[in-house]
C-alpha cells in the first residue's frame, strides 16, 4: 500500500540567516519523517542572494522551493531600519504568496500546513483562509520567543522607554534583563519599527504552535512556563545549524593557515552574514587583536555606520584597504585576515580554533555550542544583546567586553578580554563548560534525543489533527 505524502509549506524572509535556519530544519524533518514533502517559499528583494542559491543546491528530493517575484529595492522606503525594509518587502509579496499557496493547495498533493518565519507572520492569516494548520518557526532562542509573547503585556506594564526603566525587566521563565539589552527594535517606543513588532507579536495568537531552534537542556524550563501561560505547544527542535553547501570563499586559504597553528590557539573573529562595524571600531578591534599577541583569523568587511549594512546591500570595495596602515604587515605571522566570507562551520570545527569573537547571532551561537568553542560576545543588532546575556550570565560560556559611553570597545579592553578567554583562568572554566554543553547539544539531536522527540511530537500532532479532521 502506497504511503500517503503529507505536504507542508514554509515561508521565510529575505535574510540568509533566517533562510538557512528554516531550510536546515526542513532537511531534518524529512530525514526523520520520509512521508513529508516540503515546499519552501522565499520572499526576495531584487534577486535571491547567491549564498541562498548555492545553499539550496544540496536539497534532498522531497524539498522543493519557490522564489516569489522579487521586490524592487528602489520601491522600499529609504533611510529606515532594515526591519522596516524587510517588513515592506514581505507586505508587497503577499499577493504573490497568496497565489503560490492557492496553487499548492489545489495540486495533486494539497498542502495541510504552513510554517512561517516570525517576521512573515502576516501569511498566517492567508493560511487561515485556506484552512491550513499554521506554525511559526522561530530561528532565535526560546528566551527571545518568551519576550515576543510577553511584549503586549510588557508594553502595558512599562510606560517609559525600556532603556530608562530603573529595574531589571522580568520576562516569563527568563533571566532578569536590563532594558538596554532588549532588541534594537524595542528601543524607541514611538518608532514605526516598534509598532510593527508589537503588531507582529499580537499576531502570534494565530499560530497553532511554535517550533524553536533551541533544545530543552538549555531552555526547557522557560518553555514549560510559556506553555502554561500561552496554552500552545512549543517544540524545541534545535540546535539546527547549517550543514549544507554555502559560499566557500577563502576556504583553501583558511584551512591551509589553520593547519599550521597549534591546537586551540586561534581566535576566530566574524560578525555573521550581515554585520559591520564603524571605522573607529574597526581600528580599535584591529589594534586590540594585534596587542593581545594571540593568533586570530578575522573575516573582515568594509566598515559602515549601520551595524547590519550587508543584509540588503553589497560593496564592491576591497575591504582590506580599510584596515589600519601597516596592520597586515605587522600581524603577518600572528593572524590571517580574509575579505567578506569564510566557511564558518568548517573553521569552528578545526582543532586550531580556541575561541570565537561573535556578534551573537543565534545561528553562530548554536554553531559555537555544537562545536564546543568558547565565545567573546559582541552583539550588534536584533536580539543579539539578549543572546549575549544568556551566554554570559545564564550558560556562562562567554565573556563580554565593556563598551565606552560612545558604544566603542577600546583596544586595551579588547586585548584583555581576548587574553582572558584564550589564556586565563576564567577562559579555562568557560572551555570546560562549553565542552559539557557540546555533549548535551549533540545528545539532543540523536535519534532518542530531546529535540528529535520534540520533532516527532510535532509530526504526531499534525497527523492526529488531520485524522480527526477527516
Catalytic residue among 7, 117, 208, 350: 117
DSSP 8-state code for residue 164: G
Per-residue CA distances from 288 to 80, 377, 426 (Å): 32, 15, 19
CB 390 within 8 A of CB 362: no
Confirm if 334 and 290 have CB atoms less than 8 A apart: yes
CA distance 11 to 45: 15
In 3D space, the residue among 42, 21, 45, 18 whose CA is nearest the CA of residue 312 turns out to be 45
Question: Of the candidates 374, 370, 380, 441, which has an alpha carbon nearest to the alpha carbon of residue 408?
Answer: 380
**Three-state SS annotation for 317-352:** CCHHHHCCCCHHHHCCCCEEEEECCCCHHHHHCCCC
* Residue spans of alpha helices (H) in 134-278: 142-157, 192-203, 216-230, 251-259
Is 18 in the active site?
A: yes
- Report the C-alpha gap between 290 and 298 in whole angstroms: 12
114 φ, ψ (degrees, to nearest 5): -125, 135
Tally DSSP H helices, then E strands, for the chain. 16, 13
Residue whose C-alpha is closest to residue 395's, from 361, 365, 420: 365
**C-alpha radius of gyration, the chain, whole number:** 22
Cβ partners under 8 Å of residue 78, min gap 6: none
DSSP string, 424-455: SHHHHHHHHHHHHHHHHHHHHTSTTSHHHHHH
Q: Contact, 4 vs 36, CB < 8 A?
A: no
Determine contact, residues 232/208, Cβ cutoff 8 Å: yes
> Which DSSP state fits 413?
H
The dihedrals phi and psi of 267, each to the nearest 5 degrees, come to: -95, 120
The yes-or-no answer on residue 34 being catalytic is: no
The DSSP letter of residue 393 is I
Single out the residue of 272, 227, 210 nearest to residue 246, CA to CA: 272
- The x, y and z cell numbers of residue 379, run together, are 552583539
Catalytic residues: 18, 117
Amino acid at each position: 500500500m502506497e504511503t500517503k505524502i503529507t505536504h507542508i509549506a514554509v515561508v521565510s524572509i529575505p535574510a540568509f540567516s533566517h533562510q538557512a535556519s528554516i531550510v536546515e530544519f526542513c532537511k531534518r524533518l524529512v530525514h526523520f519523517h520520509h512521508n513529508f514533502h516540503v515546499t519552501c517559499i522565499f520572499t526576495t528583494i531584487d534577486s535571491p542572494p547567491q549564498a541562498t542559491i548555492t545553499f539550496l543546491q544540496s536539497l534532498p528530493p522531497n524539498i522543493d522551493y519557490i522564489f516569489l517575484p522579487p521586490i524592487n529595492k528602489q520601491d522600499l522606503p529609504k533611510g529606515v531600519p532594515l526591519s522596516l525594509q524587510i517588513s515592506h518587502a514581505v507586505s508587497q509579496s503577499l499577493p504573490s504568496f497568496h497565489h503560490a499557496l492557492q496553487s499548492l493547495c489545489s495540486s495533486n498533493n494539497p498542502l495541510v500546513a504552513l510554517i512561517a518565519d516570525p517576521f512573515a507572520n502576516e501569511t498566517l492569516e492567508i493560511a487561515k483562509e485556506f484552512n491550513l494548520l499554521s506554525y511559526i518557526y522561530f530561528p532565535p532562542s526560546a528566551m527571545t520567543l518568551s519576550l515576543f509573547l510577553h511584549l503586549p503585556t510588557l508594553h502595558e506594564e512599562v510606560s517609559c522607554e525600556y532603556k530608562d526603566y530603573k529595574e531589571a525587566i522580568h520576562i516569563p521563565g527568563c533571566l532578569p534583563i536590563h532594558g538596554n539589552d532588549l532588541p534594537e527594535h524595542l528601543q524607541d517606543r514611538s518608532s514605526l519599527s516598534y509598532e510593527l513588532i508589537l503588531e507582529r507579536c499580537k499576531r502570534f495568537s494565530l499560530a497553532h504552535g511554535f517550533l524553536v531552534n533551541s533544545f530543552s537542556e538549555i531552555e526547557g524550563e522557560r518553555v514549560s512556563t510559556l506553555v502554561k501561560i500561552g496554552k500552545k505547544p512549543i517544540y524545541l527542535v534545535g540546535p539546527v545549524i547549517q550543514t549544507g553547501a554555502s559560499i566557500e570563499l577563502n576556504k583553501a586559504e583558511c584551512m591551509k593557515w589553520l593547519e599550521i597553528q597549534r591546537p586551540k590557539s586561534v581566535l576566530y573573529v566574524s560578525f555573521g552574514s550581515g554585520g559591520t562595524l564603524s571605522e573607529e571600531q574597526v581600528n580599535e578591534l584591529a589594534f586590540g587583536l594585534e596587542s593581545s599577541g594571540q593568533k586570530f583569523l578575522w573575516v573582515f568587511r568594509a566598515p559602515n555606520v549601520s551595524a547590519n549594512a550587508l543584509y540588503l546591500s553589497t560593496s564592491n570595495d576591497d575591504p582590506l584597504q580599510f584596515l589600519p596602515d601597516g596592520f597586515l604587515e605587522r600581524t603577518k605571522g600572528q593572524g590571517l585576515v580574509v575579505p567578506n566570507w569564510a566557511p564558518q562551520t568548517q573553521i569552528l570545527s578545526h582543532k586550531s580554533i580556541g575561541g570565537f569573537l561573535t556578534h551573537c547571532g543565534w545561528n553562530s551561537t548554536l554553531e559555537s555550542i555544537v562545536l564546543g568553542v568558547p565565545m567573546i560576545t559582541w552583539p550588534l543588532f536584533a536580539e543579539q544583546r539578549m543572546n549575549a546575556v544568556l551566554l554570559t550570565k545564564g550558560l556562562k560560556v562567554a565573556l563580554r567586553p565593556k563598551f565606552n559611553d560612545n558604544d566603542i570597545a577600546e583596544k586595551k579592553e579588547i586585548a584583555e578580554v581576548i587574553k582572558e578567554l584564550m589564556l586565563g583562568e576564567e577562559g579555562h572554566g568557560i572551555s570546560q563548560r562549553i565542552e559539557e554543553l557540546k555533549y548535551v547539544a549533540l545528545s539532543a539531536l540523536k535519534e532518542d534525543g530531546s529535540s528529535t522527540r520534540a520533532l516527532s511530537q510535532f509530526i504526531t500532532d499534525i497527523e492526529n489533527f488531520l485524522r480527526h479532521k477527516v
